Each structure stands twice: as structure tokens, then as C-alpha cells.
Amino acid sequence: MPELPEVEVVRRGLERWVAGRTVAAVEVHHPRAVRRHLEGAEHFVEALTGRTFAAAHRRGKYLWLPLTEPDGAPSGRAMVAHLGMSGQLLVEKRTQPDETHLRARFTFTDGGRELRFVDQRTFGGLAVEECAGGGGAGEDTAERIPQRLAHIAIDPLDPSFDEAGFSAALRRRRTEVKRALLDQTLIGGVGNIYADESLWRAKLHGTRPTDRLTRAQVADLLDGVRSVLGEALAQGGTSFDSLYVDVNGQSGYFSRFLAVYGQVDRPCPRCGTPIVRESFMNRSSYSCPTCQPRPRTGRT
């Protein structure tokens, strides 16, 4: 599943290759791709044809592209995209053969490269939605956000991320620290892989109670999250130059610097202890038993 840095790479690609272009035509090849557009595929096509994608924004793993009307006025609506498990947004030459799992195609009035939504497992989707205020302090379209996304916490890759607010909220929660990292209402876009890597950097076991973390531990954790996401983003950034925007689940972008995730029995890069795998929230968690000891006692 694409995680936050990959989705940010896609956002940057859309900003570069799609923003400012006017939609000439839209084809929907599979109804599931627009199932969240409740008025149906035909309405989705009408809502986009002739409109211009003004920009590309992101909140958590959701992308949205605000639309302007043919007269240049903001429409108050945006196309929202979620990549799900396997979704890709590709910017390609019109002569490029269709992908097997092509779900939607956008052509533009400039006659240039088209935007394609390709999704093998169709958990992703596109919709046109109304925007509302309250998304931030910017003076442009960034301050208007689709209402469905407004509850998602701003993530550490967003310039307006509130570090002090996150730290306070984390320590107020009575939960386990990995569970808190995966809670999209607390911190956006941190999935299983980056949670494990961040916890390793902060030398914290995922079951540590959040309300017992010290300020220094929370600061280390946030540093870990930021550095992991930043490095992954830097790795993924290479895909911009290939003239296409690509997200491919477990792509190799960041796999080279994973310290613990998927590294069971391999030596911890810090201390050499074999990495262990445990089950947590029905998924695998990876950690170093020496650097990240389990909390000794339960809550009393």
C-alpha cells in the first residue's frame, strides 16, 4: 500500500504535470473507480469536463485538485483521489497503450500527455466533492478542503504541522505508542512500515503506553518520523524526472534503508541483535529486542 511519502511524490508530480491544465474529456472505464462520486459516473464526467485543475494538494493519503470554471473562477469543488492498495496516477503520452487495469482517462485541451488512473485491485477511487474552509491559513485554494478530508490530521511533511500540539495530544492518549502513530486523527499518513522504522529510531517498543512517554521520548519519536518520511520522500523523488507520476505499493524506493521492517532475523543496524517480528493489530511489527525492550509491566 502506498504510504505518505509515495503519495507526496504523486502530489508533486501532479502539481508539476497536471496543475493548470484544462480537461477536454474524461472516460470512466470501471464504475468502482468513481463509486465515491455518489451521483454516478456520468455526473463525474460532466463535473470535470471543461474545468481546469488549479493545483494539487494532499492531506494524509488523500489528494485533491481544486477545479476552476471555464471563466477562471474557483468552482468550490475539487477532484479527490485515493490510491487505495494499488492505485497509480500516470501521466503518459497519448500513444502509450492502455494499461490492463486502466480505470479512468483524462485528456486535456492542450493535446499533451494524458492522466490515467490505473488500479488493479480497485480499492482506490476518484470523486468530485465540495470544498469548505478551514484547511489552513494559506491565501490560495489550500485553505479550502473537501469536507471528507477535514478530520484527517496534518502530517509531519506538511509545513503547517503542529509539533507541540501533536506532542501534547500523544501524551494525553491512554494507548500504545504504535497504535497512536497509526491513528489518522492524531498524525496523518504514518502506515505500518514507517511506524516501525520511526519507533526503532526512537528506541521505543510499539506497546509503550503513550501517557508514560517523557517529553524527550516524544521529541525523539517525532524526529524519527520526520527523518524516515524525509528520506523516503527523497528516494521517491527520483520518479519526477521520468515524466510520470507513479505509486507502486511496495516499491523499492525506501527498501534500501529499512532498519527493521521486514528484516526478521537480520542484525539490528545499531546493535547487531536479530530483529524480531511480533503480531500487533493483526499485522506484523518489527523491532530490535535490545534497543526497543517491551514495557515490563502492564498498566496498574
| CB 205 to Zn ion: min, Å | 12
Nearer to Zn ion, 225 or 288 (CB): 288
Is the Cβ of residue 271 or residue 281 nearer to Zn ion in the bound state? Answer: 271
3 in catalytic set: yes
Q: Which residues are annotated as a binding site for DNA?
A: 101, 121, 173
Q: Phi then psi for 201, rounded to 5 degrees?
A: -60, -35
Can 2 be counted among the known catalytic residues? Answer: yes
Among 61, 77, 103, 178, the one annotated catalytic:
61
Site string for Zn ion, 216-255 (x = CB under 5 A): ----------------------------------------
Select which of 3, 129, 176, 197 is catalytic: 3
User: Residue 247 or 291: which CB sits closer to Zn ion?
Assistant: 291
Catalytic-residue membership of 176 = no
| Furthest CA-CA distance within the chain | 66
Residue list 64-123, contact with Zn ion (CB under 5 A)? none
Grid coordinates representing 174 are 491512554
CA distances (Å), origin 128, targets 30, 45, 66, 131: 16, 9, 9, 10
Region 259-288 residues binding Zn ion, contact defined as CB under 5 A = 268, 270-271, 273, 288
Alpha-carbon gap, residue 231 to 221, rounded angstroms? 15
User: Does residue 178 carry a catalytic annotation?
Assistant: no
Cα–Cα distance for residue pair 23/115, rounded to 1 Å: 10
Residue nearer to Zn ion on the CB measure, 144 or 205: 205
CA 88 to chain centre: 12
CB nearer to Zn ion: pick between 41 and 228: 228
Q: How far is the CB of 69 from Zn ion (least distance, A)?
A: 57
Output 76 or 269, the one with its CB closest to Zn ion. Answer: 269
CB of 7 to Zn ion, least distance (A): 30
Q: How many residues does the chain have?
A: 300
Which of 93, 215, 283, 294 is catalytic? The answer is: 283
Q: What is the DSSP letter of 32?
A: G
- Return binding residues: 101, 121, 173
For the CB of residue 278, give the shortest distance to Zn ion in the complex, in Å. Answer: 15
x/- contact string, 21-40, with Zn ion (CB under 5 A)?
Answer: --------------------
Which stretches does DSSP call E strand in the chain? 23-28, 52-53, 57-59, 62-68, 74-82, 87-92, 102-108, 114-119, 125-132, 145-146, 276-280, 283-287
CB of 285 to Zn ion, least distance (A): 15
Pairing of strands 52-53, 23-28: unpaired
Least distance CB 3 / Zn ion (angstroms): 23
Binding of Zn ion by 293 (CB under 5 A): no
Specify the 3-state DSSP secondary structure of 217. Answer: helix
Catalytic residue selected from 2, 5, 66, 156: 2
| Total residues in contact with Zn ion, by rule CB under 5 A | 7
Cβ burial 36-45 (10 Å sphere, 16+ → b, else e): bbeeebeebb
C-beta separation of 267 from 261 below 8 A: no
Burial grade of 216 (CB within 10 A; 0-12, 13-18, 19 or more): exposed
Which residues of this protein are in contact with Zn ion, per CB under 5 A? Answer: 268, 270-271, 273, 288, 290-291
Q: Which residues are catalytic?
A: 2-3, 61, 283
